[in-house]
């Protein structure tokens, strides 16, 4: 009996040491940061800067790997099933970690509890845009055009389940428009089609859309945030433009397989918080129209705070999906 007690006590004393050792030994090989969409979109832009900065702090290589498909679910499922040792992470979005659970329902290949939050990196509004050949310069004109045009208008997004997709479905519900969704495999293909006037309307995160709007290749109509964006100060919010009460903000963060050792999650979270608060990272993100995470008093993030944020967002967007009637065809 005494021997058994000694073994239990020894095991208890060894556990913290083992946990510390797991964190200290990490990483033992290059880290893979999976991006759930094609190159050139906001997710890819944020992911590549994040990978660069994290690699500098870890003193290890962080390799970016794009795995688009099924509104980000291909990447989410891959990461959820990966070895839970901290060497495979995902640059997640409001779609892959919140909206998709409502949109896909029982067809989701992974569950919220299959991934653990590591760090929220930025929050960023979406922007509603039209092709230059679309004869509407304001939201009210767009609503009138959608009602008058036979067959209505179509709108493009980076894919099913992305925040732009659900934002426009919510906008349809609030304004009475019935625009038809044309999903693409990322922001890059959608913006190319919008510039070419092969789709009438588009919505995307500000960072990837910003150069196209500034160059006059497409026309901005309004932003989805509560207040105007410093990156596009001349554009009204959709609330100001006529969709009273409209507000939605996209976000991007890092998640890991749920069984990843807590010391590894905490170490990654600490380093990613340093990245999020770094002056150069914040400057580069601000140039794209993004805001800092804002989950802690200093504007930063922690794994615990990001996990709590994820639970709130999942409940919120499940309700929005249900009320908007958005669905997978």
pLDDT at position 289: 85
Rounded to 5°, the CA angle 287-269-252 comes to 40
Point out the least confidently predicted range of 6-15, 198-207, 230-239, 308-317. 6-15
Confidence of residue 127 (pLDDT cuts 50, 70, 90): very high
> Would the CA dihedral through 148, 149, 152, 155 be positive or negative?
negative
- Burial of 156-180, coded b for 16+ CB within 10 Å and e otherwise, reads bbbbbbbbbbbbbbbbbbebebebe
pLDDT at position 329: 62
Q: What are the pLDDT digits (tens) for 90-100?
A: 999 999 999 99
pLDDT at position 14: 43
Point out the least confidently predicted range of 128-137, 187-196, 236-245, 317-326. 317-326
Give percent above pLDDT 70 in the chain.
Answer: 92
pLDDT at position 160: 83
Contact 55/261 with Cβ under 8 angstroms? no
pTM as predicted: 0.80
pLDDT at position 151: 85
Nearest to 82 by CA among 28, 140, 32: 32
Nearest to 275 by CA among 37, 79, 43, 46: 46
Confidence of residue 197 (pLDDT cuts 50, 70, 90): very high
Q: What are the pLDDT digits (tens) for 260-287?
A: 999 999 999 999 999 999 999 999 999 8
The radius of gyration of the chain from alpha carbons, rounded to an integer in Å, stands at: 21
> Mean pLDDT in the chain?
91
Of 35-39, 63-67, 313-317, where does the model show the most confidence?
A: 63-67
Determine the Cα–Cα distance for residues 110 and 100; give it in Å rounded to an integer.
10
| Structure token pair of residue 107 | 């067809």
| Structure token pair of residue 309 | 């944020």
Query: Quick one: 8 exposed, middle or buried, by C-beta within 10 A (0-12, 13-18, 19+)?
Result: exposed
pLDDT score of 185 more than 90:
no
Determine the Cα–Cα distance for residues 63 and 72; give it in Å rounded to an integer.
18
Point out the least confidently predicted range of 38-42, 71-75, 200-204. 38-42
pLDDT score of 102 more than 60:
yes
pLDDT at position 190: 96
Across the range 31-44, mean pLDDT stands at 92
Please give the sequence-ordered ranges of beta strands (E in DSSP) within the chain, or none if there are none.
31-35, 62-66, 88-93, 115-131, 154-157, 180-183, 201-205, 218-223, 249-257
Nearest to 219 by CA among 126, 131, 125, 154: 131
Residue 81 CB partners (closer than 8 Å, separation 6+): 110, 257
pLDDT score of 235 more than 90:
yes
Rounded to 5°, the CA angle 207-210-214 comes to 160
């Amino acid at each position: 009996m005494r021997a058994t007690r000694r073994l239990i006590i020894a095991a208890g004393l060894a556990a913290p040491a083992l946990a510390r050792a797991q964190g200290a030994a990490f990483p033992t090989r290059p880290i893979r940061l999976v991006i759930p969409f094609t190159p050139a979109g906001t997710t890819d832009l944020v992911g590549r800067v994040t990978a660069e900065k994290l690699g500098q702090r870890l003193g290890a290589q962080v390799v970016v790997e794009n795995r688009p498909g099924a509104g980000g679910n291909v990447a989410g499922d891959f990461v959820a099933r990966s070895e839970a040792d901290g060497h495979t992470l995902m640059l997640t979005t409001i779609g892959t970690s919140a909206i998709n659970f409502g949109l896909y329902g029982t067809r989701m290949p992974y569950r919220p509890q299959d991934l653990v939050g590591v760090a929220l990196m930025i929050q960023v509004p979406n922007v509603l845009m039209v092709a230059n050949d679309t004869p509407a310069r304001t939201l009210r004109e767009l609503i009138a055009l959608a009602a008058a045009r036979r067959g209505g208008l179509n709108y493009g997004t980076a894919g099913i389940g992305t925040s732009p997709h659900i934002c426009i479905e919510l906008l349809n519900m609030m304004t009475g428009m019935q625009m038809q969704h044309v999903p693409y495999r990322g922001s890059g293909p959608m913006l190319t089609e919008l510039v070419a006037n092969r789709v009438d309307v588009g919505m995307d995160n500000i960072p990837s859309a910003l150069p196209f709007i500034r160059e006059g290749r497409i026309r901005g109509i309004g932003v989805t945030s509560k207040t105007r964006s410093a990156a596009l100060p001349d554009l009204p919010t959709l609330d100001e433009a006529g969709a009273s009460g409209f507000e939605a903000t996209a976000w991007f963060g890092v998640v890991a397989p749920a069984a990843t050792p807590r010391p590894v999650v905490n170490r990654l979270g600490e380093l990613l918080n340093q990245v999020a608060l770094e002056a150069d990272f914040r400057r580069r993100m601000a140039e794209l129209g993004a805001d800092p995470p804002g989950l802690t008093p200093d504007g930063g993030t922690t794994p615990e705070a990001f996990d709590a944020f994820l639970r709130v967002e999942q409940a919120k967007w499940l309700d929005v999906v249900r009320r908007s009637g958005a669905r997978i065809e």
